[in-house]
Amino acid sequence: MIDTVVVQPAVSVDEPQTSGVSWAAVAAGAVVSLALTLVLIAFGTGLGLSVVSPWASSGASATTFKITTGIYLIVIAMISSSLGGYIAGRLRSRWIGVHSDEVYFRDTAHGFLAWSFATVLGAILLASPATTLLSGAASGVAAGATAAAAQSGPSDGYLDSLLRPTTPSADGTSAEARGELSRVMAASFRGGELKPADRSYVNKVVASRTGLSEADADKRVTEVSNDAKTAVDAARKAAMQLAFWLTASLLIGAFSASLAATEGGGLRDGTWKKRR
């Protein structure tokens, strides 16, 4: 007697024809993240104003304030991004017939998309008022500028050198002297030092205006120039540190949102304990 072996065809499970991204959940998580970010920024602003004081003997130091601000930016990113990612993962559509690894990846992508959406939307919302303020300031400056200032251009510094008198006179207007000196000193602030001819002329102008000797005027020019460069360098370092803190907070926010979305998705499907 011969046994007949019946081979059953393999049954393939097709992936459901549904989108792998729940954009409604992503948008909801992004809006929640952005709203919480604004609340925490407002709260942090109040805290910052409470610890800063114009008096030298009170309030936090500049270094402490900068470090605290950077840490608070990271805390804001962690809290707001985590909540937004959790909302995106918890509210997304349930996928039937999808492998658990694929579900985990999609949850992570939902958290990252929610963070990306919130970041772009926040940048747009913050850029709009900044642009308005800058345009308003530019309009005010343009309206109050004189005709001579309106005609200033890159060649003014060279024209000053051509028309510079041999001996500075104290009879000129203060505005003219300030404008000429600002153009001369601008070259020093951009890097390098004043040319010997420019330095000699600045010393003569300061001496004629203040009544100091040229030696004392040269000392004052050196001190003021060094103070200005120190202030510019301090502003540069502060901007650099802020950029680094912002970069760190954004990266940590992206990680927190992605991780929180996987937790929210696991709770949504009832697989959170299995993952644990």
Domain boundaries along the sequence of the chain: 23-127+246-275, 154-232
**Could you give the CA distance from residue 188 to residue 160 in angstroms, rounded to a whole number?**
16
- Please give the backbone phi and psi of residue 261, each rounded to the nearest 5 degrees, phi first: -65, -35
* Start-to-end CA span in the chain (Å): 54
Could you list the mean pLDDT of each consecutive 10-residue stretch along the chain, which spans 276 residues? Answer: 50 60 92 93 87 72 84 94 94 84 91 94 74 51 43 51 56 66 69 75 80 84 81 86 92 95 88 66
Contact 10, 95 (CB under 8 A): no
The structure tokens listed for 199 are: 């330095």
Its pTM stands at 0.70
Closest alpha carbon to 19 in 92, 84, 113: 92
At a CB cut-off of 8 Å and minimum separation 6, what does 100 contact? Answer: 271
SS3 1: coil
**CA 53 vs CA 94, 130, 235, 239, 253: distances in Å:** 53, 26, 19, 21, 31
In this prediction, residue 260 carries a pLDDT of 94
**Could you give the CA distance from residue 119 to residue 30 in angstroms, rounded to a whole number?**
8
